[in-house]
Amino acid sequence: MELVDMWDFSRGEIVWSQLLILSVALFSLGAFCYALILLYSQNGISIHFFLFIISILVSFAIIYAILRRLSRELFTYTYFPIRFNRKNGKVYVIGNNKKVETYDWKNLNIHMDAEVNAPWDVRCCDVDDNGVIQRTFSLPFRYQRVHKVLYGHFEFVNRYMSAKDDKELAEVASSIRHIFPVHQRKETFKESVQRSLLEYHYDFDDTEFPEKTLQLDWLFVINIPFWFLKLLGRRLSILTSKTPHFPSDIESQCPIDPNDRFDLNENPPVSALVKPTTVLEKAFYAIMIAVVTLASLSVFALIVDIIGAMRPHGDYPSFFKMLWDVLLFRWL
């Protein structure tokens, strides 16, 4: 059984947020360079000249840090797999450094943990004889607090690893009600839309009947511009990254029987999720992108207008009006 990493849920956030910061940083760097040229042409070498040199160096450091952060989602792997081998009791994990680590499931110290101001997750730790943590990885699902769904998530994996026969495996497989089988392939645009929308569903309080809980939260309406940016970031991340593959020695230990009736890549529980995009769906996505783009630009223009209205001593033009004058061809 192979699961995605816990950061797959938020994939795309780093791309759009850091690209926005990078754009501001590059614009500021250009302004600094222009001011530096003016100062040098007017005053030659001066204290202001050295201050601008320092500012430019700081800007380069910020840009480098942003590029390093972008590398977590761009030109990397489409996901970082956690593979569970039930037969030999091993767990194989590819981290964001692209290195493979192997764990013994029965020897792991498992508990729930959370970083500062972050959701809780199920932490799997490899400890030495003195109880000191040597390595760690997390199961994919996270939750805002310690909740029964986290216990259920661990029990799902544990039941799979301890299954002895087909009856027990069938019980585990039947509990999987919603899946995007992206094993060794890139997710489609349709899957990216569905995956990113999961963030705006109600809490998974009733995991036995996801058909009832997988309903969009009304807050999605006011978050459409941010969801759209995240979707674009996710698609850019997927398109620039490659699918992960374990080394051949690990692959040889994890063969998949072509007739395996529990192979959910071939027999997904909701087949509609992985069906090819129809012409009607493509038209819908095209219209959706156009509408969301207009909504996002309008919100941005309104924010700029509000900031302009707060500034004293100035009659600033309305960017919202200018935007729609262009879109409605009033400039002709």
Please say if the pLDDT value at position 33 is more than 90.
Answer: no
- Of 160-164, 238-242, 275-279, 328-332, the poorest mean pLDDT is in 328-332
Check residues 86 and 24 and name the one with the higher pLDDT: 86
Q: Please tell me the predicted confidence (pLDDT) of residue 73.
A: 92
Asked if residue 228 lies in contact with residue 62, where contact means CB atoms within 8 angstroms, the answer is no
Closest CA to 170 of 69, 85, 262: 262
Write down the mean pLDDT value for the chain.
Answer: 84
Closest CA to 95 of 5, 10, 218: 5
Q: Does 93 share its domain with 188?
A: yes
Q: Is residue 316 part of a domain?
A: yes
Q: Beta-carbon neighbour count of residue 185 at 10 Å?
A: 10
Tokens, residue 313:
């001593």
Tokens, residue 293:
């783009």
**Could you tell me where the DSSP H helices lie in the chain?**
13-43, 47-70, 148-162, 166-174, 189-197, 210-213, 224-240, 248-251, 279-310, 319-327
Tokens, residue 39:
């100062």
Please say if the pLDDT value at position 301 is more than 60.
Answer: yes
Please say if the pLDDT value at position 138 is more than 60.
Answer: yes
Q: Does 58 share its domain with 114?
A: no
Q: Does 110 share its domain with 35?
A: no
Q: Does 233 share its domain with 109?
A: yes
CA dihedral 139, 142, 143, 146 (to 10 degrees): 30
Could you tell me the pLDDT band of residue 313, with boundaries at 50, 70 and 90?
low
Query: For tokens 């614009």, what's the residue?
Result: 27
* pLDDT tens digit sequence for 144-193: 888 788 898 999 999 999 999 999 999 999 888 778 888 889 998 888 98
Give the distance from CA 281 to its chain's centroid: 23
Please say if the pLDDT value at position 26 is more than 90.
Answer: no
Residues of the chain with pLDDT > 70, as a percent, come to: 90
Q: Does 137 share its domain with 230?
A: yes
Q: Is residue 169 part of a domain?
A: yes
Could you tell me the pLDDT band of residue 95, with boundaries at 50, 70 and 90?
very high
Q: Please tell me the predicted confidence (pLDDT) of residue 82.
A: 97
Q: Does 175 share its domain with 301?
A: no
Range of the domain at 37: 9-70
Three-class SS of residue 97?
Answer: coil
Q: Is residue 332 part of a domain?
A: no
Please say if the pLDDT value at position 207 is more than 60.
Answer: no
Asked if residue 73 lies in contact with residue 96, where contact means CB atoms within 8 angstroms, the answer is no
**CA angle, residues 192, 227, 116, in degrees to nearest 5:** 100
Q: Does 191 share its domain with 301?
A: no
Q: Beta-carbon neighbour count of residue 187 at 10 Å?
A: 22
Q: Please tell me the predicted confidence (pLDDT) of residue 282.
A: 85
**What's the number of domains the chain is made of?**
3
Asked if residue 69 lies in contact with residue 21, where contact means CB atoms within 8 angstroms, the answer is no
